[in-house]
Amino acid sequence: MAVKITELCINCDSCIDECPATAIVSASDSPVNGDVTYVKPEKCIECVDSTMPKCSDACPTEGAIVWDMPYTAEFNDYFVSGHDKGDYAIREHKKNGIMYPSVSPRPFRETISMAARQAHTPVAG
Ligand code: SF4
Ligand code: SF4
């Protein structure tokens, strides 16, 4: 991914239309068994072309949007495991199979440390 939405989310849906990658879906459309708005890691580009992630800029709830690991081949096992556990529901492509990072990596912000990502530090809004 990129970024992830936590249980602190109040499902206001303010972030959905702000996402340039259409990576966010409301809780009612979430493909995982969660009660909150969901970020599709296979689509999130961490808003690398902007000063900061647009979702976090729009979010009124501190701690609702946190960093996750880069969606790159290096972290393929992490996302495969998360998908298998049901934390993510990564899209399956008809020809290419499940769009894991090894199949379709996404851009990420190199300025965010791996420690901050592992700790799921809130994305500053
Ligand atoms: S960081 Fe950007 S691309 Fe990723 S979910 Fe948020 S708004 Fe969408
Ligand atoms: S803007 Fe924040 S609180 Fe609202 S749905 Fe998105 S993550 Fe949840």
Could you report the per-residue pLDDT of 65-102, keeping only the tens digit for each?
Answer: 999 999 999 999 999 999 999 999 999 999 999 999 99
Residues 27 and 11: their CA atoms lie apart, in Å, by 7
Ligand nearest to the CA of 17: 1
Total domain count, the chain: 1
- CATH of residue 1's domain is 3.30.70.20
pTM, full prediction: 0.96
Cβ atoms of 49 and 9 within 8 Å: the answer is no
Nearest ligand 2 atom to the CA of 10 is 3
Nearest ligand 1 atom to the CA of 65 is 6
Q: Which domain range does residue 23 map to?
A: 1-125
The predicted-structure confidence for 17-60, as pLDDT tens digits, reads as follows 999 999 999 999 999 977 899 999 999 999 999 999 999 999 99
Q: How far is the CA of 81 from the centre of ligand 1 (A)?
A: 22
The amino acid at 55? C
Q: What is the CA radius of gyration of the chain?
A: 13
